[in-house]
Amino acid sequence: MLVSEILRIKGNALFTTPPNGTVLEAIKVMAQHDIGSLVVMDHGQMAGMLTFAEVLEALAQRQGQLGDLKVSEIYVRDPLIATPHLDVMELRRSMVERHQRYVPVQEGATLLGVISFHDVAKAVYEEQSFENRMLKSYIKSWPDEEGQ
């Protein structure tokens, strides 16, 4: 299965934030849309990712006070990036190795969407369930010892 297939099923809605926006504004968008990450866009180009992990770290360092903290002060500038033609199992390995829960998908300079570790796990589960059903069906139709 390819990353493009996950995007096709999931859709490619993108939620973004500017680097000069406040973290509090970003949190409101994340909460409103029940998402764990935002793409940081600067002058029409992806600059990085802001995820709940960076927000929680900022809250911990600032004793629960965000004040006017800017996205630019905490976002990840070098996130793992996937291409639509990448195999999902390879993406899963990379996400685990880099401990990254959200991955932007780009083709050239075009941002196509964001895939979460949940999206990857769901796709792998569904693919394995389909293969399992096919194998069980094949085994059930296997002729017995008498050739029936």
> Can you give the CATH number for the domain in which 36 is found?
3.10.580.10
Is 145 part of a structural domain of the chain? Answer: no
The verdict on residue 11 lying in a domain is yes
Given pLDDT bands bounded at 50, 70 and 90, which one contains residue 144?
low
What's the rounded Cα separation, in Å, for the pair 13 and 143? 49
Residue 146 falls within a domain, yes or no? Answer: no
Q: How many domains does the chain have?
A: 1
Please say if the pLDDT value at position 121 is more than 70.
yes
Whether 31 is covered by a domain: the verdict is yes
Strands of 18-109 (E only): list them. Answer: 37-42, 45-51, 102-107
Inside any domain, residue 72: yes
pTM confidence score: 0.80
Give tens-digit pLDDT for 22-79.
999 999 999 999 999 999 999 999 999 999 999 999 999 999 999 999 999 999 999 9
Residues in the chain: 148
- Contacts of residue 71, Cβ cutoff 8 Å, sequence gap at least 6: 17, 18, 19, 20, 21, 22, 23, 26, 40, 50
Which of 52, 54, 44 lies closest to 75, judged by CA? 54
User: At residue 109, does pLDDT exceed 90?
Assistant: no
Give the structural domain span for 106.
Answer: 3-140
The pLDDT of residue 9 is 83
Q: How far is residue 31's CA from residue 26's CA, in Å, rounded to a whole number?
A: 9
**pLDDT score recorded for residue 56:** 96
- 105 contacts 82 by C-beta, under 8 angstroms: yes
Q: Is residue 71 part of a domain?
A: yes
Whether residue 148 lies inside any domain: the answer is no
